[in-house]
Amino acid sequence: MKSSTATKPAWDRLWLGAHLATMTGGPAYNDRQNPAGVGELRDAALAIKDGRIAWVGSRQQLDNMPWSAANVTLAEGLWITPGLVECHTHLVYGGDRSNEFAARLRGATYEEISRAGGGIVATMRATRTASEDQLLEQSLPRALALAAEGVTTLEIKSGYGLDLDSELKMLRVAQRIGEVTGLAVIKTFLGAHALPPEFMGRQEEYVRHVCDDMLPAVAKARLADAVDVFCERIAFTQEQTRRIFERARELGLPARLHADQLSDGNGGEIAADCGALSADHLEHTSERSLQRMAERGVVAGLLPGAFYYLRETKLPPIERLRELNIPMAVSTDCNPGTSPIASLLTAMNMACVMFRLTAAETLRGVTVNAARALGLAQDRGTLEVGSRADLAIWRLRHPEQLCAEVGVHRPVEIVLANKLKTPR
C-alpha cells in the first residue's frame, strides 16, 4: 500500500483482500447468454463513500495508487455480494392461515379454498381489525428474518385491506418497517388483489373504486412506489387489469403484475403492453406472452415458494426464458397462505432444485435482476462504482454455497448505504 502527498480519495471505508461477486459482466441475464457467472473478482478491494461504492478493483491495482480511508478492513477469505434484493412479498398482514395448510394437505386446491371464503379474504378480515401497531408487531419479525439473511432492499405489497383505510394502513406499516429496520422498503399498492365481500357481485364497481378513489388517494399520500394487480380467473380480468394500470400510469406509478399463476390469462402480454416492470409467477404463460416480455424487457419474477406450497406440477417456462434472454428474478412471495416463507436463501435453493436455475442465475436473480424488477437496476444489485453501498459480507468458499446449503449461512456483516449492521 502506497502513501502519497498527491490528492487522495478520502473513502469512508475500504475492504482489502475480499473476493467480490460483482454481478456485472455484460447485458445478458442467464447462463446460456452470460458465461461470466456472478462476475467474480478475487483478492480485490472495494471502497465506499457517502453511501455509494466509490472504487472496485484488484488489490494489486490499489497497491499502485494513492488512497486514504477512514476505516480499513482486512477481509481476506471473505466474499462480498451486493445486498440481496427481495422483490415480491406480502409480509404485512394480520392473523395466520395455518388451517388452510391443513386443508391443502387433505387435497383442497387454492381455488377451492378461495371460493369457500378463505385465502386472501380470510387474511383481509384479520388485517382490517388489526391496529397499525399490531400489524407492525406481527410483520416486523418477518422483515427482520429476511434482513438477517442479507436482504437490504425489501418490496412489500398491500392487498389485504381491500378498502381505502386498510390499504393505507398497510402501506404505512410497510413504511414504518423501513424506518425501524433501516432496510430500503419499496411499497406496492395491490388494491386489486381480490374482491372484498362488500362488493360481491359488483366487481366492475370495485374496479371503478380502485381507479377513481383508491389509486388517487394512495398517490396523494405518497405511500406507494408501484401498483400491482392479481390478473387471474378468480381475481381480475385482463380488461380490468389494463384499466387499473392505465390509471396508475396517469398518476405516475409503474406497474408490476401477478401473471398466469393458475391459468393462461395473457398476463405476460398485458405486462408488456402496459410497460410493467415485472410479471410474476408465470407457470401458465404462453409463447406469445414470452415473446412480448422479451421485446419489452419485462422481468420474469419466479416464486418457487408458492409453487412448493401449492404442490404445483407445471413449471414456469425456464428454458424459454433463457432462450429469449428474459431476466429472471427470484423471490420468496412471503405471504400468509401460499408461501409463508421469510427466507430468501431458502427460496434460492428452491429455485435451483425445483426450477432448475443454476446457482449463478439464482444469485443474479436476488441481486441485479431483482433490482431490475423494482426499477432499480441503475442504483443497486451490483458491485460497481456509483451503485448504492448495500453489501452482504459472507464467510464462504464460494457464493454458490448460498444456494446449495440450506439453514447454514448468515452474513457476517451487512452494510446498508454505508451504515454497518450486524445480523441478528
Q: What is the DSSP secondary structure assignment for residue 30, as one 8-state letter?
A: S
Q: CA-to-CA distance for 225 and 161, rounded, in angstroms?
A: 18
Q: CA-to-CA distance for 206 and 214, rounded, in angstroms?
A: 10
Q: Which of 286, 281, 289, 285 is nearest to 309 (CA)?
A: 281
> Which residue ranges are tagged as binding site?
88, 90, 97, 160, 193, 258, 261, 333, 335, 337-338
Beta bridge partners of 314: none
Q: Could you tell me if 208 and 214 are in contact, meaning their C-beta atoms sit under 8 angstroms apart? A: no
> Which residue ranges are tagged as binding site for 4-imidazolone-5-propanoate?
97, 160, 193, 261, 338
Q: CA-to-CA distance for 19 and 81, rounded, in angstroms?
A: 9
Three-class secondary structure assignment of 228-239: EEEECCCCECHH
> Which residue ranges are tagged as binding site for N-formimidoyl-L-glutamate?
160, 335, 337
Give SS3 for 68: strand
Q: Could you tell me if 356 and 320 are in contact, meaning their C-beta atoms sit under 8 angstroms apart? A: no
Q: CA-to-CA distance for 248 and 225, rounded, in angstroms?
A: 11
> Which residue ranges are tagged as binding site for Fe(3+)?
88, 90, 258, 333
3-state helix, strand, coil in the chain (%, to 5): 35, 20, 40
> Which residue ranges are tagged as binding site for Zn(2+)?
88, 90, 258, 333
